Amino acid sequence: MNQSLAFVFPGQGSQHLGMLAELAEQFGVIQQTFADASDALGYDLWALTQEGPEEALNSTEKTQPALLTAGVALWRLWKEQGGDQPALMAGHSLGEYTALTCAGALALKDAVVLVKQRGEFMQAAVPAGQGGMAAVLGLDDAKVEEACRQAAQGAVVSAVNYNSPGQVVIAGAADAVARAVAECKAAGAKRAVELPVSVPSHCELMKPAAEQLKAALDAVEMKMPEVTVIQNVAARPAQDLAELRSNLVEQLYRPVLWTGSVQAMAERGAEVLVECGPGKVLSGLNKRIQRSLTVMAINDPAGLEKALGR
């Protein structure tokens, strides 16, 4: 095990048509992993990621299995190529399920069905158009939180993703989010922009979905991960299986403490963070959180080769 190495897994937003295509041409494990997931889901997940339609790939109950499978495929490729065993893992929102799957806590066939259900529960919890999310850049966390309090007026709106210093995502009822965006701008935010999403993730509006998710989680076999996984809601690993499951349920309606999670990994000795999924979204955040970190992404042949040979 490499004590200075950590793997991180992205959440929704990293998906795109054609993802991992270059690697799939060279390494059979990529499409084989997608075939394993497709068997569990009952549809051709690889075809969806390569051919679309894009609207279907971006539908949350399809996005979540696609991203989880992509992360697992890259992890399997990493191990197949003799990559070092990391000491730590973490995933952003959905990515936490990918981390747990790669760490041996969940079987892939169970994980893809579970996150498909998670997406369905989230979509059903808030009717389309009634919820919203917005990204706030260049404003202290405390000021974002205060803007949400001022804007709430009895409705739900709160900070839900602490992505990096100066980058916070808020979520809640659509009207309240719009008011909070205006409050953030008035408070001096460099940018505050509503996001094109249909589900207000990680806020109190997701509590009905969390109740359904708990039942689904209870029905799935799970064990403690073989690699330490830093969980979103506490920015630390669970002490036992009950806490691990509880954290996954709470993650639906509590904030993603990504800044704290990356800091926790650095405090535990992580020096190199490898992003295991399509894109490089987390790599940019991770460097802003902890400048001393080396960040890499293995979403294409060049990135994989660099990470393996570092």
Active-site pick, 164, 202, 261, 283: 202
86-106 per-residue burial string, b: 16 or more CB within 10 A, e: under 16: bbbbbbbbbbbbbbbbbbebb
Residues 193, 178: Cα–Cα separation, whole Å:
9
| Annotation says 93 is catalytic | yes
Active-site pick, 14, 38, 93, 201: 93
Cβ 225 vs Cβ 241: under 8 Å: no
Cβ 94 vs Cβ 101: under 8 Å: no
Partnered with residue 272 across adjacent β-strands are 5, 294
Q: Enumerate the active-site residues.
A: 93, 202
